[in-house]
A and B are shown apart, each in its own frame.
Chain A
Protein backbone atom coordinates (compact mmCIF):
# COMPACT_ATOMS: atom_id res chain seq x y z
CA UNK A 1 0.00 0.00 0.00
CA UNK A 2 1.23 3.44 -0.76
CA UNK A 3 2.26 5.15 2.37
CA UNK A 4 2.54 8.79 3.05
CA UNK A 5 2.92 11.12 5.88
CA UNK A 6 -0.11 12.31 7.66
CA UNK A 7 1.93 14.91 9.46
CA UNK A 8 1.63 18.53 8.56
CA UNK A 9 4.27 19.88 6.28
CA UNK A 10 6.20 23.05 6.64
CA UNK A 11 3.83 24.80 4.32
CA UNK A 12 0.88 23.93 6.54
CA UNK A 13 2.28 26.03 9.27
CA UNK A 14 1.23 29.60 9.39
CA UNK A 15 4.20 31.85 8.99
CA UNK A 16 6.01 33.10 10.89
CA UNK A 17 5.77 29.92 12.95
CA UNK A 18 7.42 26.71 12.05
CA UNK A 19 6.01 23.31 12.64
CA UNK A 20 7.03 21.14 15.50
CA UNK A 21 6.70 18.33 13.00
CA UNK A 22 9.09 18.84 10.16
CA UNK A 23 8.18 18.15 6.58
CA UNK A 24 9.51 14.91 5.25
CA UNK A 25 9.83 13.45 8.70
CA UNK A 26 8.01 10.38 7.52
CA UNK A 27 7.15 11.49 4.05
CA UNK A 28 7.26 9.65 0.81
CA UNK A 29 10.64 9.71 -0.83
CA UNK A 30 11.23 12.79 -2.96
CA UNK A 31 11.26 10.74 -6.14
CA UNK A 32 7.97 9.01 -5.42
CA UNK A 33 4.94 10.55 -7.08
CA UNK A 34 2.79 12.42 -4.62
CA UNK A 35 -0.48 10.61 -4.02
CA UNK A 36 -2.01 14.08 -3.75
CA UNK A 37 -2.25 14.45 -7.44
CA UNK A 38 -4.54 11.46 -7.85
CA UNK A 39 -6.38 11.62 -4.57
CA UNK A 40 -7.34 15.23 -4.70
CA UNK A 41 -10.45 16.39 -6.40
CA UNK A 42 -8.85 19.84 -6.40
CA UNK A 43 -5.85 18.40 -8.23
CA UNK A 44 -5.38 21.34 -10.60
CA UNK A 45 -4.27 23.72 -7.89
CA UNK A 46 -2.51 21.11 -5.78
CA UNK A 47 1.14 21.87 -5.34
CA UNK A 48 4.07 19.66 -4.52
CA UNK A 49 4.38 19.27 -0.78
CA UNK A 50 7.54 21.35 -0.57
CA UNK A 51 6.12 24.43 -2.30
CA UNK A 52 4.88 27.08 0.08
CA UNK A 53 1.16 27.65 0.28
CA UNK A 54 -0.23 31.11 0.54
CA UNK A 55 -0.22 32.74 3.91
CA UNK A 56 -3.43 31.57 5.56
CA UNK A 57 -4.06 35.08 6.72
CA UNK A 58 -4.18 36.21 3.11
CA UNK A 59 -6.99 33.83 2.05
CA UNK A 60 -10.40 34.42 3.60
CA UNK A 61 -11.37 32.21 6.52
CA UNK A 62 -13.74 29.31 5.88
CA UNK A 63 -15.89 30.36 8.77
CA UNK A 64 -16.30 33.70 10.50
CA UNK A 65 -17.98 34.35 13.84
CA UNK A 66 -18.87 37.91 14.74
CA UNK A 67 -20.20 38.89 18.14
CA UNK A 68 -21.74 35.49 18.76
CA UNK A 69 -23.56 35.26 22.09
CA UNK A 70 -25.71 32.45 23.41
CA UNK A 71 -28.02 32.67 26.39
CA UNK A 72 -29.80 29.53 27.53
CA UNK A 73 -32.51 29.76 30.18
CA UNK A 74 -31.39 33.29 31.08
CA UNK A 75 -27.80 32.17 31.69
CA UNK A 76 -25.16 33.62 29.37
CA UNK A 77 -23.18 30.67 28.00
CA UNK A 78 -21.17 32.47 25.33
CA UNK A 79 -20.42 36.17 25.12
CA UNK A 80 -19.23 38.13 22.08
CA UNK A 81 -17.27 35.44 20.33
CA UNK A 82 -15.25 36.84 17.42
CA UNK A 83 -13.22 34.31 15.52
CA UNK A 84 -12.05 33.43 12.05
CA UNK A 85 -11.45 29.77 11.28
CA UNK A 86 -8.58 29.33 8.83
CA UNK A 87 -9.44 27.60 5.57
CA UNK A 88 -7.80 24.23 5.02
CA UNK A 89 -6.43 23.99 8.54
CA UNK A 90 -7.35 22.30 11.77
CA UNK A 91 -8.51 24.58 14.55
CA UNK A 92 -9.17 23.30 18.04
CA UNK A 93 -11.52 24.86 20.54
CA UNK A 94 -10.13 24.20 23.98
CA UNK A 95 -11.32 25.21 27.40
CA UNK A 96 -12.31 23.80 30.78
CA UNK A 97 -15.57 21.98 31.45
CA UNK A 98 -18.53 24.33 31.25
CA UNK A 99 -16.62 26.80 29.08
CA UNK A 100 -19.27 26.60 26.36
CA UNK A 101 -17.32 24.50 23.83
CA UNK A 102 -20.24 22.27 22.93
CA UNK A 103 -22.60 25.26 22.87
CA UNK A 104 -20.34 27.01 20.36
CA UNK A 105 -20.34 23.88 18.22
CA UNK A 106 -24.14 23.76 18.37
CA UNK A 107 -24.39 27.42 17.38
CA UNK A 108 -22.17 26.76 14.35
CA UNK A 109 -24.33 23.74 13.50
CA UNK A 110 -27.31 26.08 13.66
CA UNK A 111 -29.26 23.94 16.10
CA UNK A 112 -29.53 26.50 18.92
CA UNK A 113 -30.52 30.17 18.76
CA UNK A 114 -27.70 32.71 19.02
CA UNK A 115 -27.08 36.38 18.59
CA UNK A 116 -24.43 37.71 16.25
CA UNK A 117 -23.30 36.33 12.92
CA UNK A 118 -21.88 33.01 11.86
CA UNK A 119 -20.89 32.99 8.20
CA UNK A 120 -19.40 30.38 5.94
CA UNK A 121 -17.22 31.96 3.27
CA UNK A 122 -15.98 30.77 -0.09
CA UNK A 123 -12.40 31.17 -1.25
CA UNK A 124 -13.25 34.65 -2.50
CA UNK A 125 -14.63 35.68 0.87
CA UNK A 126 -18.29 35.67 -0.15
CA UNK A 127 -20.87 34.22 2.24
CA UNK A 128 -22.05 30.78 1.06
CA UNK A 129 -24.52 28.21 2.42
CA UNK A 130 -22.80 26.00 4.95
CA UNK A 131 -21.44 22.68 3.81
CA UNK A 132 -20.83 21.09 7.16
CA UNK A 133 -19.90 17.59 8.12
CA UNK A 134 -20.56 16.88 11.76
CA UNK A 135 -18.94 14.07 13.69
CA UNK A 136 -20.68 13.71 17.05
CA UNK A 137 -19.09 11.92 19.94
CA UNK A 138 -21.75 9.24 20.33
CA UNK A 139 -25.12 8.14 19.01
CA UNK A 140 -28.21 7.45 21.09
CA UNK A 141 -27.87 3.74 20.64
CA UNK A 142 -27.25 0.83 22.92
CA UNK A 143 -25.45 -2.42 22.32
CA UNK A 144 -28.67 -4.32 21.67
CA UNK A 145 -29.83 -1.98 18.91
CA UNK A 146 -30.57 -3.67 15.61
CA UNK A 147 -29.09 -1.27 13.07
CA UNK A 148 -26.26 -2.08 10.75
CA UNK A 149 -23.60 0.39 9.65
CA UNK A 150 -24.84 0.45 6.05
CA UNK A 151 -28.41 1.05 7.24
CA UNK A 152 -27.20 3.98 9.33
CA UNK A 153 -25.31 5.45 6.40
CA UNK A 154 -28.38 5.15 4.17
CA UNK A 155 -30.71 7.05 6.48
CA UNK A 156 -30.09 10.42 4.86
CA UNK A 157 -29.18 9.20 1.38
CA UNK A 158 -32.27 7.21 0.47
CA UNK A 159 -35.95 7.95 1.05
CA UNK A 160 -37.15 4.35 0.73
CA UNK A 161 -37.29 2.90 4.26
CA UNK A 162 -34.23 0.77 5.02
CA UNK A 163 -36.53 -2.16 5.86
CA UNK A 164 -37.51 -2.32 2.19
CA UNK A 165 -33.88 -2.81 1.25
CA UNK A 166 -30.99 -0.55 0.38
CA UNK A 167 -30.44 0.47 -3.23
CA UNK A 168 -27.30 -1.01 -4.73
CA UNK A 169 -25.78 2.38 -5.54
CA UNK A 170 -26.49 3.69 -2.04
CA UNK A 171 -24.77 0.65 -0.57
CA UNK A 172 -21.83 1.06 -2.93
CA UNK A 173 -21.40 4.74 -2.03
CA UNK A 174 -21.45 3.87 1.66
CA UNK A 175 -18.92 1.10 1.07
CA UNK A 176 -16.60 3.50 -0.76
CA UNK A 177 -16.90 6.12 1.97
CA UNK A 178 -15.95 3.48 4.54
CA UNK A 179 -13.22 2.15 2.29
CA UNK A 180 -11.43 5.50 2.40
CA UNK A 181 -11.27 5.13 6.17
CA UNK A 182 -10.18 1.50 5.99
CA UNK A 183 -13.52 0.49 7.47
CA UNK A 184 -15.24 -1.32 4.62
CA UNK A 185 -15.36 -4.49 6.69
CA UNK A 186 -17.72 -2.72 9.11
CA UNK A 187 -20.43 -2.27 6.46
CA UNK A 188 -22.79 -4.98 7.70
CA UNK A 189 -21.83 -4.94 11.37
CA UNK A 190 -24.40 -3.87 13.99
CA UNK A 191 -23.72 -0.23 14.88
CA UNK A 192 -24.25 -0.83 18.61
CA UNK A 193 -21.46 -3.38 18.78
CA UNK A 194 -18.68 -1.24 17.27
CA UNK A 195 -15.76 -0.13 19.41
CA UNK A 196 -15.37 3.58 20.09
CA UNK A 197 -12.73 3.90 17.37
CA UNK A 198 -14.78 2.02 14.80
CA UNK A 199 -17.82 4.16 15.53
CA UNK A 200 -15.76 7.33 15.09
CA UNK A 201 -14.58 6.14 11.69
CA UNK A 202 -18.14 5.31 10.64
CA UNK A 203 -19.34 8.72 11.79
CA UNK A 204 -16.50 10.44 9.95
CA UNK A 205 -17.26 8.42 6.80
CA UNK A 206 -20.91 9.41 7.06
CA UNK A 207 -19.92 13.07 7.46
CA UNK A 208 -17.56 12.96 4.46
CA UNK A 209 -20.29 11.33 2.43
CA UNK A 210 -21.90 14.73 2.00
CA UNK A 211 -18.74 16.34 0.54
CA UNK A 212 -18.41 18.93 3.30
CA UNK A 213 -16.00 21.84 3.26
CA UNK A 214 -15.93 22.23 6.99
CA UNK A 215 -15.85 19.31 9.42
CA UNK A 216 -16.91 19.73 13.04
CA UNK A 217 -15.57 17.13 15.44
CA UNK A 218 -16.93 16.82 18.95
CA UNK A 219 -14.27 15.36 21.22
CA UNK A 220 -12.65 13.07 18.65
CA UNK A 221 -10.86 9.99 19.99
CA UNK A 222 -12.31 10.37 23.46
CA UNK A 223 -13.33 6.91 24.55
CA UNK A 224 -11.34 5.43 21.68
CA UNK A 225 -8.75 2.73 22.24
CA UNK A 226 -5.13 3.57 21.46
CA UNK A 227 -5.00 1.75 18.11
CA UNK A 228 -8.28 3.34 17.02
CA UNK A 229 -6.96 6.71 18.12
CA UNK A 230 -3.85 6.24 15.95
CA UNK A 231 -5.90 5.41 12.91
CA UNK A 232 -8.34 8.26 13.42
CA UNK A 233 -5.50 10.74 13.87
CA UNK A 234 -3.81 9.51 10.70
CA UNK A 235 -6.99 9.80 8.74
CA UNK A 236 -7.72 13.31 9.95
CA UNK A 237 -4.28 14.57 9.03
CA UNK A 238 -4.60 12.95 5.60
CA UNK A 239 -7.95 14.59 5.01
CA UNK A 240 -6.72 18.00 5.98
CA UNK A 241 -3.96 17.68 3.40
CA UNK A 242 -5.82 15.90 0.63
CA UNK A 243 -9.12 17.63 0.50
CA UNK A 244 -8.24 21.06 1.78
CA UNK A 245 -10.82 20.48 4.46
CA UNK A 246 -11.29 22.95 7.23
CA UNK A 247 -11.47 21.04 10.47
CA UNK A 248 -12.85 22.51 13.67
CA UNK A 249 -12.63 20.27 16.70
CA UNK A 250 -13.69 20.56 20.28
CA UNK A 251 -11.35 18.74 22.58
CA UNK A 252 -10.39 18.69 26.20
CA UNK A 253 -7.44 16.43 25.40
CA UNK A 254 -4.46 18.68 24.85
CA UNK A 255 -2.35 15.86 23.47
CA UNK A 256 -4.77 15.58 20.55
CA UNK A 257 -4.80 19.34 20.13
CA UNK A 258 -1.05 19.71 20.13
CA UNK A 259 -0.72 16.94 17.58
CA UNK A 260 -3.39 18.01 15.15
CA UNK A 261 -4.39 21.60 15.42
CA UNK A 262 -2.60 24.39 13.61
CA UNK A 263 -4.73 26.96 15.38
CA UNK A 264 -6.31 27.11 18.78
CA UNK A 265 -9.25 29.03 20.22
CA UNK A 266 -9.20 29.19 24.00
CA UNK A 267 -12.74 29.45 25.23
CA UNK A 268 -14.10 30.25 28.62
CA UNK A 269 -17.47 31.82 27.93
CA UNK A 270 -15.60 34.23 25.73
CA UNK A 271 -12.45 33.86 23.66
CA UNK A 272 -9.51 34.24 26.02
CA UNK A 273 -6.84 33.67 23.40
CA UNK A 274 -6.54 32.56 19.81
CA UNK A 275 -3.80 32.01 17.34
CA UNK A 276 -1.32 29.47 16.07
CA UNK A 277 -1.20 26.42 18.29
CA UNK A 278 2.52 26.66 18.89
CA UNK A 279 2.16 30.20 20.12
CA UNK A 280 -0.98 29.80 22.17
CA UNK A 281 -0.24 26.52 23.90
CA UNK A 282 2.18 27.83 26.48
CA UNK A 283 2.10 26.72 30.08
CA UNK A 284 1.15 30.21 31.29
CA UNK A 285 -1.85 30.41 28.96
CA UNK A 286 -2.99 26.91 29.82
CA UNK A 287 -2.69 27.64 33.50
CA UNK A 288 -4.82 30.73 32.93
CA UNK A 289 -7.44 28.79 31.02
CA UNK A 290 -7.65 25.55 32.91
CA UNK A 291 -6.43 26.62 36.32
CA UNK A 292 -4.31 24.26 38.36
CA UNK A 293 -5.63 21.15 36.62
CA UNK A 294 -3.80 22.01 33.44
CA UNK A 295 -0.85 20.10 34.83
CA UNK A 296 -2.79 16.93 34.17
CA UNK A 297 -2.99 17.64 30.49
CA UNK A 298 0.23 19.39 29.87
CA UNK A 299 1.75 18.33 26.64
CA UNK A 300 4.99 16.43 26.52
CA UNK A 301 6.23 14.30 23.67
CA UNK A 302 5.50 11.20 25.73
CA UNK A 303 1.86 12.03 26.16
CA UNK A 304 1.56 12.87 22.53
CA UNK A 305 3.04 9.56 21.54
CA UNK A 306 0.27 7.88 23.38
CA UNK A 307 -2.25 9.22 20.90
CA UNK A 308 -0.35 9.76 17.68
CA UNK A 309 3.14 8.42 17.93
CA UNK A 310 3.81 8.57 14.21
CA UNK A 311 4.82 12.16 14.49
CA UNK A 312 7.69 11.22 16.70
CA UNK A 313 9.57 7.98 16.99
CA UNK A 314 7.89 5.19 15.06
CA UNK A 315 7.67 7.11 11.82
CA UNK A 316 11.40 6.59 11.48
CA UNK A 317 11.21 2.89 12.00
CA UNK A 318 12.06 0.57 9.17
CA UNK A 319 8.88 -1.48 9.52
CA UNK A 320 6.01 0.89 9.39
CA UNK A 321 2.74 -0.26 10.87
CA UNK A 322 -0.26 -0.19 8.57
CA UNK A 323 -1.94 3.17 8.52
CA UNK A 324 -4.66 5.02 6.84
CA UNK A 325 -4.18 6.63 3.53
CA UNK A 326 -6.83 8.58 1.75
CA UNK A 327 -6.50 7.09 -1.64
CA UNK A 328 -8.90 6.23 -4.40
CA UNK A 329 -9.87 2.55 -4.40
CA UNK A 330 -7.87 1.95 -7.55
CA UNK A 331 -4.68 2.72 -5.65
CA UNK A 332 -5.36 0.33 -2.83
CA UNK A 333 -4.75 -3.10 -4.17
CA UNK A 334 -2.03 -2.31 -6.66
Chain B
Protein backbone atom coordinates (compact mmCIF):
# COMPACT_ATOMS: atom_id res chain seq x y z
CA UNK B 1 0.00 0.00 0.00
CA UNK B 2 2.87 2.32 0.85
CA UNK B 3 4.23 1.92 -2.69
CA UNK B 4 0.99 3.13 -4.32
CA UNK B 5 -0.06 5.86 -1.88
CA UNK B 6 3.15 7.61 -0.92
CA UNK B 7 5.15 8.26 -4.15
CA UNK B 8 2.56 10.66 -5.60
CA UNK B 9 2.59 12.52 -2.27
CA UNK B 10 6.38 12.78 -2.32
CA UNK B 11 6.20 13.80 -5.97
CA UNK B 12 3.97 16.74 -5.10
CA UNK B 13 6.35 17.89 -2.37
CA UNK B 14 9.33 17.65 -4.72
CA UNK B 15 7.64 20.20 -6.99
CA UNK B 16 7.79 22.82 -4.25
CA UNK B 17 10.72 25.23 -4.65
CA UNK B 18 12.70 24.00 -1.66
CA UNK B 19 15.80 21.86 -2.20
CA UNK B 20 15.38 20.31 1.19
CA UNK B 21 12.04 18.77 0.09
CA UNK B 22 13.82 16.50 -2.37
CA UNK B 23 15.30 14.55 0.55
CA UNK B 24 13.25 11.41 1.20
CA UNK B 25 13.46 11.63 5.01
CA UNK B 26 12.36 15.26 4.84
CA UNK B 27 9.39 14.39 2.62
CA UNK B 28 8.23 11.80 5.13
CA UNK B 29 8.81 14.20 8.02
CA UNK B 30 6.79 16.98 6.37
CA UNK B 31 3.87 14.69 5.55
CA UNK B 32 3.75 13.17 9.03
CA UNK B 33 4.15 16.51 10.76
CA UNK B 34 1.42 18.11 8.65
CA UNK B 35 -1.03 15.30 9.44
CA UNK B 36 -0.37 15.38 13.16
CA UNK B 37 -0.33 19.19 13.29
CA UNK B 38 -3.85 19.27 11.86
CA UNK B 39 -5.22 16.61 14.21
CA UNK B 40 -3.47 18.12 17.24
CA UNK B 41 -4.91 21.53 16.38
CA UNK B 42 -8.44 20.11 16.08
CA UNK B 43 -8.33 17.98 19.24
CA UNK B 44 -6.44 20.76 20.99
CA UNK B 45 -9.50 23.00 20.81
CA UNK B 46 -11.41 20.39 22.83
CA UNK B 47 -8.44 19.77 25.15
CA UNK B 48 -8.43 23.46 26.04
CA UNK B 49 -12.20 23.53 26.48
CA UNK B 50 -12.22 20.37 28.65
CA UNK B 51 -9.18 21.74 30.56
CA UNK B 52 -7.37 18.48 29.86
CA UNK B 53 -3.83 19.85 29.46
CA UNK B 54 -2.74 18.01 32.58
CA UNK B 55 -4.43 14.83 31.31
CA UNK B 56 -2.47 14.94 28.06
CA UNK B 57 0.76 15.65 29.94
CA UNK B 58 0.05 12.68 32.16
CA UNK B 59 -0.76 10.35 29.25
CA UNK B 60 2.39 11.36 27.39
CA UNK B 61 4.53 10.78 30.47
CA UNK B 62 2.96 7.36 30.94
CA UNK B 63 4.88 6.50 27.76
CA UNK B 64 7.87 5.80 30.02
CA UNK B 65 5.94 2.91 31.50
CA UNK B 66 4.72 1.88 28.04
CA UNK B 67 8.31 1.65 26.79
CA UNK B 68 9.41 -0.33 29.82
CA UNK B 69 6.51 -2.77 29.51
CA UNK B 70 7.08 -3.22 25.78
CA UNK B 71 10.71 -4.07 26.21
CA UNK B 72 10.03 -6.36 29.15
CA UNK B 73 7.34 -8.22 27.19
CA UNK B 74 9.43 -8.27 24.03
CA UNK B 75 6.99 -6.29 21.85
CA UNK B 76 7.54 -3.14 19.79
CA UNK B 77 7.74 -0.29 22.34
CA UNK B 78 5.63 2.00 20.13
CA UNK B 79 2.79 -0.49 20.29
CA UNK B 80 3.00 -0.82 24.04
CA UNK B 81 3.17 2.96 24.43
CA UNK B 82 -0.04 3.34 22.40
CA UNK B 83 -1.90 0.53 24.14
CA UNK B 84 -0.79 1.59 27.61
CA UNK B 85 -1.61 5.28 26.98
CA UNK B 86 -5.12 4.51 25.69
CA UNK B 87 -5.83 2.11 28.54
CA UNK B 88 -4.65 4.44 31.25
CA UNK B 89 -6.41 7.46 29.71
CA UNK B 90 -9.75 5.66 29.66
CA UNK B 91 -9.19 4.36 33.18
CA UNK B 92 -8.55 7.91 34.40
CA UNK B 93 -11.82 9.21 32.95
CA UNK B 94 -13.73 6.26 34.36
CA UNK B 95 -12.22 6.63 37.81
CA UNK B 96 -12.95 10.31 37.90
CA UNK B 97 -16.59 9.78 36.90
CA UNK B 98 -17.13 6.94 39.33
CA UNK B 99 -15.27 8.31 42.31
CA UNK B 100 -16.42 11.86 41.63
CA UNK B 101 -12.86 13.11 42.14
CA UNK B 102 -11.35 16.11 40.47
CA UNK B 103 -9.46 15.15 37.32
CA UNK B 104 -6.13 16.53 38.49
CA UNK B 105 -6.32 14.67 41.82
CA UNK B 106 -7.12 11.36 40.14
CA UNK B 107 -4.43 11.82 37.55
CA UNK B 108 -1.89 13.04 40.07
CA UNK B 109 -2.08 9.74 41.91
CA UNK B 110 -2.62 7.38 38.98
CA UNK B 111 0.03 8.76 36.69
CA UNK B 112 2.68 9.48 39.26
CA UNK B 113 2.47 5.82 40.25
CA UNK B 114 2.70 4.51 36.67
CA UNK B 115 5.49 6.89 35.68
CA UNK B 116 7.45 5.91 38.80
CA UNK B 117 7.01 2.27 37.82
CA UNK B 118 8.26 2.95 34.30
CA UNK B 119 11.27 4.92 35.46
CA UNK B 120 12.10 2.24 38.02
CA UNK B 121 12.14 -0.46 35.34
CA UNK B 122 14.08 1.65 32.84
CA UNK B 123 16.70 2.61 35.40
CA UNK B 124 17.11 -0.99 36.53
CA UNK B 125 17.55 -2.33 32.98
CA UNK B 126 20.41 -0.30 31.56
CA UNK B 127 19.88 -1.56 28.00
CA UNK B 128 16.49 0.20 27.88
CA UNK B 129 18.16 3.58 28.21
CA UNK B 130 19.32 3.54 24.59
CA UNK B 131 15.76 3.78 23.19
CA UNK B 132 14.85 6.68 25.45
CA UNK B 133 16.18 9.65 23.43
CA UNK B 134 13.86 8.84 20.50
CA UNK B 135 10.88 9.11 22.83
CA UNK B 136 12.16 12.10 24.76
CA UNK B 137 12.97 14.29 21.76
CA UNK B 138 10.89 12.65 19.04
CA UNK B 139 12.46 11.08 15.95
CA UNK B 140 10.54 12.62 13.11
CA UNK B 141 13.54 12.61 10.77
CA UNK B 142 13.88 8.83 11.15
CA UNK B 143 10.35 7.85 10.10
CA UNK B 144 9.77 4.97 7.70
CA UNK B 145 7.14 4.77 4.97
CA UNK B 146 5.28 2.35 7.19
CA UNK B 147 5.22 4.84 10.07
CA UNK B 148 3.90 7.51 7.74
CA UNK B 149 1.14 5.22 6.52
CA UNK B 150 0.02 4.59 10.09
CA UNK B 151 0.04 8.33 10.77
CA UNK B 152 -2.14 8.98 7.72
CA UNK B 153 -4.53 6.26 8.86
CA UNK B 154 -4.71 7.80 12.35
CA UNK B 155 -5.37 11.23 10.83
CA UNK B 156 -8.29 9.93 8.78
CA UNK B 157 -9.76 8.08 11.77
CA UNK B 158 -9.44 11.05 14.14
CA UNK B 159 -10.96 13.48 11.66
CA UNK B 160 -13.85 11.08 11.02
CA UNK B 161 -14.41 10.85 14.78
CA UNK B 162 -14.48 14.64 15.09
CA UNK B 163 -16.77 15.09 12.10
CA UNK B 164 -19.35 12.95 13.87
CA UNK B 165 -18.87 13.88 17.52
CA UNK B 166 -17.24 17.33 17.76
CA UNK B 167 -20.51 19.15 18.55
CA UNK B 168 -21.57 16.67 21.19
CA UNK B 169 -18.12 16.65 22.78
CA UNK B 170 -18.14 20.42 22.99
CA UNK B 171 -21.64 20.27 24.49
CA UNK B 172 -20.46 17.81 27.16
CA UNK B 173 -17.51 20.06 27.97
CA UNK B 174 -19.84 23.03 28.48
CA UNK B 175 -22.24 21.28 30.85
CA UNK B 176 -22.23 17.57 31.45
CA UNK B 177 -25.73 17.37 32.92
CA UNK B 178 -27.23 19.67 30.32
CA UNK B 179 -25.77 17.51 27.55
CA UNK B 180 -27.03 14.34 29.20
CA UNK B 181 -30.49 15.80 29.68
CA UNK B 182 -30.48 16.47 25.92
CA UNK B 183 -29.76 12.79 25.28
CA UNK B 184 -26.02 13.03 24.65
CA UNK B 185 -24.21 9.94 26.03
CA UNK B 186 -21.69 12.05 27.90
CA UNK B 187 -19.73 9.32 29.66
CA UNK B 188 -19.24 7.15 26.59
CA UNK B 189 -18.24 10.17 24.53
CA UNK B 190 -15.77 11.37 27.10
CA UNK B 191 -14.20 7.90 27.25
CA UNK B 192 -13.98 7.81 23.46
CA UNK B 193 -12.41 11.26 23.47
CA UNK B 194 -9.86 10.16 26.08
CA UNK B 195 -8.99 7.15 23.90
CA UNK B 196 -8.73 9.26 20.73
CA UNK B 197 -6.56 11.77 22.54
CA UNK B 198 -4.29 9.12 24.07
CA UNK B 199 -3.85 7.51 20.65
CA UNK B 200 -2.94 10.85 19.10
CA UNK B 201 -0.50 11.58 21.91
CA UNK B 202 1.21 8.24 21.30
CA UNK B 203 1.77 9.18 17.66
CA UNK B 204 2.63 12.81 18.35
CA UNK B 205 5.46 11.65 20.63
CA UNK B 206 7.18 10.64 17.36
CA UNK B 207 7.16 14.28 16.26
CA UNK B 208 7.96 16.36 19.32
CA UNK B 209 8.81 13.84 22.05
CA UNK B 210 7.21 12.99 25.37
CA UNK B 211 7.98 16.30 27.03
CA UNK B 212 6.45 18.58 24.40
CA UNK B 213 3.33 16.74 23.21
CA UNK B 214 0.99 18.78 25.40
CA UNK B 215 2.45 21.96 23.97
CA UNK B 216 1.60 20.82 20.45
CA UNK B 217 -1.99 20.21 21.54
CA UNK B 218 -2.54 23.24 23.72
CA UNK B 219 -0.50 26.13 22.32
CA UNK B 220 -2.04 26.50 18.82
CA UNK B 221 -5.57 26.08 20.20
CA UNK B 222 -4.98 28.65 22.95
CA UNK B 223 -3.31 31.06 20.53
CA UNK B 224 -6.32 30.77 18.23
CA UNK B 225 -8.67 31.32 21.17
CA UNK B 226 -6.96 34.62 21.90
CA UNK B 227 -7.74 35.79 18.38
CA UNK B 228 -11.14 34.27 17.57
CA UNK B 229 -14.68 35.04 18.70
CA UNK B 230 -16.26 31.82 17.44
CA UNK B 231 -15.40 28.13 17.59
CA UNK B 232 -15.24 28.12 13.82
CA UNK B 233 -12.62 30.85 13.86
CA UNK B 234 -10.71 29.14 16.65
CA UNK B 235 -10.58 25.76 14.90
CA UNK B 236 -9.35 27.07 11.55
CA UNK B 237 -6.87 29.49 13.11
CA UNK B 238 -5.61 26.69 15.32
CA UNK B 239 -5.03 24.45 12.27
CA UNK B 240 -3.28 27.25 10.39
CA UNK B 241 -1.05 28.22 13.30
CA UNK B 242 -0.18 24.61 14.02
CA UNK B 243 0.86 24.00 10.39
CA UNK B 244 2.84 27.24 10.33
CA UNK B 245 4.74 26.38 13.52
CA UNK B 246 5.40 22.83 12.28
CA UNK B 247 6.86 23.83 8.91
CA UNK B 248 8.82 26.75 10.31
CA UNK B 249 10.08 24.53 13.12
CA UNK B 250 11.21 21.76 10.77
CA UNK B 251 13.08 24.16 8.50
CA UNK B 252 14.70 26.00 11.41
CA UNK B 253 15.76 22.78 13.07
CA UNK B 254 17.55 21.64 9.91
CA UNK B 255 19.27 24.98 9.66
CA UNK B 256 20.51 24.98 13.25
CA UNK B 257 20.79 21.21 13.62
CA UNK B 258 18.48 21.36 16.66
CA UNK B 259 15.74 18.92 17.71
CA UNK B 260 12.76 19.47 15.36
CA UNK B 261 10.22 19.02 18.16
CA UNK B 262 11.79 21.75 20.26
CA UNK B 263 11.97 24.11 17.27
CA UNK B 264 8.27 23.51 16.44
CA UNK B 265 7.18 24.31 19.99
CA UNK B 266 9.40 27.42 20.10
CA UNK B 267 7.65 28.68 16.98
CA UNK B 268 4.24 27.87 18.41
CA UNK B 269 5.09 29.67 21.66
CA UNK B 270 6.33 32.73 19.75
CA UNK B 271 3.04 32.87 17.84
CA UNK B 272 1.23 32.62 21.18
CA UNK B 273 3.20 35.60 22.47
CA UNK B 274 2.24 37.54 19.36
CA UNK B 275 -1.42 36.65 19.86
CA UNK B 276 -1.36 38.14 23.35
CA UNK B 277 -0.49 41.49 21.77
CA UNK B 278 -3.32 41.17 19.25
CA UNK B 279 -5.84 39.73 21.73
CA UNK B 280 -9.42 40.47 20.81
Contact = CB atoms under 8 A, between A and B. Distances in A.
Interface string A129-143: 000101010011100
22 contacts: A73-B100, A109-B177, A109-B181, A110-B181, A111-B176, A134-B181, A136-B178, A140-B173, A140-B175, A144-B226, A145-B49, A145-B225, A148-B230, A151-B232, A155-B167, A155-B171, A156-B168, A156-B182, A160-B167, A161-B235, A163-B234, A210-B182
Interface of A is mostly: loop
B175 A139 contact: yes
B146 interface: no
Interface residues of A, number: 34
B126 interface: no
Interface string A72-106: 11000000000000000000000000000000001
Contacts, number: 92
Interface in A17-40: none
Given A110-B181, A147-B231, A163-B235, 18 more contacts: A73-B100, A106-B177, A136-B175, A139-B175, A140-B173, A144-B225, A146-B228, A146-B231, A148-B230, A148-B231, A154-B167, A156-B182, A158-B167, A160-B167, A161-B163, A161-B166, A163-B232, A164-B163
Interface of B: 49, 100, 162-164, 166-168, 170-171, 173-184, 224-226, 228-236
Nearest to A112: B177
A163 B234 CA distance: 8
A124 interface: no
B224 A155 contact: no
A245 B276 CA distance: 47
A146 B180 contact: no
B164 A110 contact: no
Contacts of B171: 155-156
A148 B170 CA distance: 13
Contact of A156 (B162, B173, B184): B184
Contacts of A151: 230-232
Contacts of A161: 162-163, 166-167, 235
B7 to A, nearest CB: 31
Contacts of B225: 144-146
